[in-house]
Chains A and B, each alone.
Chain A
Amino acid sequence: GAVVSQHPSWVICKSGTSVKIECRSLDFQATTMFWYRQFPKQSLMLMATSNEGSKATYEQGVEKDKFLINHASLTLSTLTVTSAHPEDSSFYICSARDRHRGWGEKLFFGSGTQLSVL
């Protein structure tokens, strides 16, 4: 099956520092990756859609200068939380769509990253 690897699983950082989260599709090519944020016992909120080789599309209310997304290859997308603050503490999850499946198909999810900003 398709595997999406997300690292790190958890990270604790000081306020003001930047944190990079990686999302890799291990056995398939993903033209599109999605980044979500999830608060405890709540649903997933789509932050941005990341397309290989082009700029990410951010959802309304998501600061693109704060949440930097890079999708440099068909197997890797990164989310960098810049100048992190305690309110950025959350569970971040990436997902990828297999390019050969096209639109309208299921997503493959990473295992998530728990970010705690002190």
Chain B
Amino acid sequence: SQQGEEDPQALSIQEGENATMNCSYKTSINNLQWYRQNSGRGLVHLILIRSNEREKHSGRLRVTLDTSKKSSSLLITASRAADTASYFCATDSLGETSGSRLTFGEGTQLTVNP
């Protein structure tokens, strides 16, 4: 089954505004990670939050995790045009045969208008 359903699918904001993206998942996890992907490129790791953590900050990024609701949110404050990209959440859970692996959500396409 698909882990990591994200909303919104697309988000368009003005430079300087905050952007919030949400991610829901279905199974138990070790950690949840957020990645960014520029069009036609690979993914870049942004932040990792472990299952025993509730909130984490990194620069303009703030991530929350609610394991009881199986959900996470990514907040980008004071957005810039360069933040325009797709953002994916990924859950890290133990697999049966291959050990821990990441399952990616559908992603949120963020557009920050100058």
Contacts and interface: CB of A to CB of B under 8 A. Distances in A.
Contacts of B109: 41
A54 to B, nearest CB: 11
Nearest to A94: B42
Given A93-B42, A104-B100, A43 B105 contact: yes
Contacts of A62: none
Given A6-B42, A93-B42, A103 B100 contact: yes
A13 B99 CA distance: 35
Nearest to B103: A46
Contacts of A49: 98-99, 101
B41 A112 contact: yes
A44 to B, nearest CB: 5
Chain B facing A: main interface SS:
strand
Interface size class of A (residues with CB under 8 A): 20 to 34
Interface residues of B, number: 26
Interface stretch (B12-20, B43-51, B54-62, B68-76): B43-51
A6 B40 CA distance: 13
Interface of B: 4, 30-31, 33, 35, 40-45, 48, 88, 92, 97-107, 109
21 contacts: A4-B42, A6-B42, A34-B101, A41-B109, A43-B4, A43-B104, A43-B105, A43-B106, A44-B104, A46-B101, A46-B102, A46-B103, A91-B40, A95-B43, A103-B30, A105-B48, A106-B33, A109-B44, A109-B45, A111-B41, A111-B42
